[in-house]
Amino acid sequence: MLQLTNVSAQYKTLTGTVKAVERVDFTVEKNEIFGIAGESGCGKSTLLKVMYDLISYPLEISEGSVQIQTKDKHGSTVTLPNGKIHESWWKVISYVPQGAMHVMNPVIRIRNQFFDAISKYHDKTDKKALEQEIIRYLKELELPPEVLKAYPHQLSGGMRQRVLIALATFLNPEIVLADEPTTALDVVVQRGILTMLSRVQKKMKNSMVIVSHDMGVHYQITNRLGIMYAGQMIEIGPTEQIFNNPKHPYTKMLINALPRVGDNSQKEGIPGTPPSLRNPPAGCRFAARCPLAEERCRTHEPVPVSVGQRHVASCHLL
Ligand SMILES: Nc1ncnc2c1ncn2[C@@H]1O[C@H](COP(=O)(O)OP(=O)(O)OP(=O)(O)O)[C@@H](O)[C@H]1O
């Protein structure tokens, strides 16, 4: 279980502070796929880095905490706080970063990338035995063992992404984070990746967090969904509820902009642009684009209210 309590994170740059994540509060439960959606630049990737404890200059956590509850080798429950979570990378929590090509070392064969990443966490000192285990796992994920001999550039984009997912899940971590796992892939390959993620999750019964700007991805694969806007989580609920009964005006506009079978009406994007995260406005951050905004929306920040079972949204009009 991964818990975020009132977490804010910012980039402290020479030209100012970017408040990329503001007071985010939610828990990712065991055995669920939790989605994070929102427009480009709203803070999705930063939030994932915060969860993964991948904090380095200029990024810092300015308030709140991240905690993972897990079991130690004696079976006792232990809590890993942010600042310590990175000590359990691969084993307790793993991360599939955005852009499979850039995150793999181009001059190292896949086989050695596996060894480099996982051998120090693995009991097997015998490389042959470890390789056999990797091959067995690749086959289980319908990946040919030959990929181990390849360099990253010799694989297609979809295959590289599948290899990264295999790498991130080989040690059976309790939490897997994936940043835009299907971006830049064609729809058929996309479907393959989503099926793979879903199968891995069902088999391992672990927690997955999927970041995507594509609402179609969330519809297909996630159980619960958080909608981010300008660094804040403005609605969280079961995916089916978010799609069938969205509550926040921003979520409604996101859902209404989606194409539907049999509906040939012209779809419009959401007019306007999100506010700067260097100097976010007072009140509700969506007010300037919200067709329903009232005076109080521009002056007072809304707090999350319950709008259904396990469903919360932050809007004065609710
Ligand atoms: N290294 C950095 N230094 C300064 N600002 C940054 C840095 N990385 C990201 N930002 C800013 O932080 C904000 C959130 O960025 P983030 O990448 O988390 O958003 P995102 O929702 O994942 O967007 P995308 O889908 O485009 O990756 C943006 O305003 C971005 O410009």
- Tell me the pLDDT tens digit for each residue of 232-290: 999 999 999 999 999 999 999 999 888 777 777 777 778 889 999 999 999 999 999 99
Ligand 1: residue whose CA is nearest its atom 31:
41
Q: Which residues on neighbouring strands pair with residue 70, listed in sequence order?
A: 78
For ligand 1, what atom is nearest to the CA of residue 39? 21
Ligand 1: residue whose CA is nearest its atom 30:
41
Cα angle 215-270-235, degrees, rounded to a multiple of 5? 50
Asked if 159 contacts 77 with a C-beta cutoff of 8 angstroms, the reply is no
Ligand 1 lined by 40 (C-beta under 6 Å): yes
Ligand 1 lined by 166 (C-beta under 6 Å): no
pLDDT higher than threshold 90 for residue 54: yes
Residues 6+ apart with CB under 8 A from 269: 257
Residue 122's pLDDT is 67
Ligand 1 lined by 46 (C-beta under 6 Å): yes
How many angstroms separate the CA atoms of 109 and 211, rounded? 28
CA 21–ligand 1 middle distance (angstroms)? 10
Mean pLDDT of the chain: 92
Percentage above 90 pLDDT, the chain: 76
pLDDT higher than threshold 80 for residue 120: no
Q: Is the ipTM of this complex over 0.90?
A: yes
Ligand 1 lined by 51 (C-beta under 6 Å): no
Query: Average pLDDT, stretch 98-123?
Result: 81
Ligand 1 lined by 24 (C-beta under 6 Å): no
| CA proximity to 140, closest of 199, 183, 99, 84 | 199
Residue 27's pLDDT is 97
How many angstroms separate the CA atoms of 44 and 229, rounded? 9
Ligand 1 lined by 232 (C-beta under 6 Å): no
Kindly indicate the confidence band of residue 52, based on its pLDDT and cuts at 50, 70 and 90: very high
* Least trusted range by pLDDT, from 100-109, 137-146, 271-280: 100-109
Burial 264-284 (b: 16+ CB within 10 A, else e): eeeeeebeeebbebeebeebb
Give pLDDT tens digits for 165-181: 999 999 999 999 999 99
Q: Treating both helix axes as pointing N-terminal to C-terminal, what angle do 187-204 and 157-169 enclose, rounded to 10 degrees?
A: 10
Ligand 1: residue whose CA is nearest its atom 16:
43
Query: Average pLDDT, stretch 109-134?
Result: 82
pLDDT higher than threshold 70 for residue 101: no
In the chain, the domains with their CATH numbers are 2-222 (3.40.50.300)
Kindly indicate the confidence band of residue 98, based on its pLDDT and cuts at 50, 70 and 90: confident
For ligand 1, what atom is nearest to the CA of residue 211? 22
Burial 176-190 (b: 16+ CB within 10 A, else e): bbbbbbbbebeeebb
Residue 125's pLDDT is 65
CA 60–ligand 1 middle distance (angstroms)? 13
For ligand 1, what atom is nearest to the CA of residue 21? 14
Residue 21's pLDDT is 98
**In a 10 Å sphere around its CB, with 0-12 CB exposed, 13-18 middle and 19+ buried, how is residue 76 labelled?**
exposed
Residue 117's pLDDT is 82
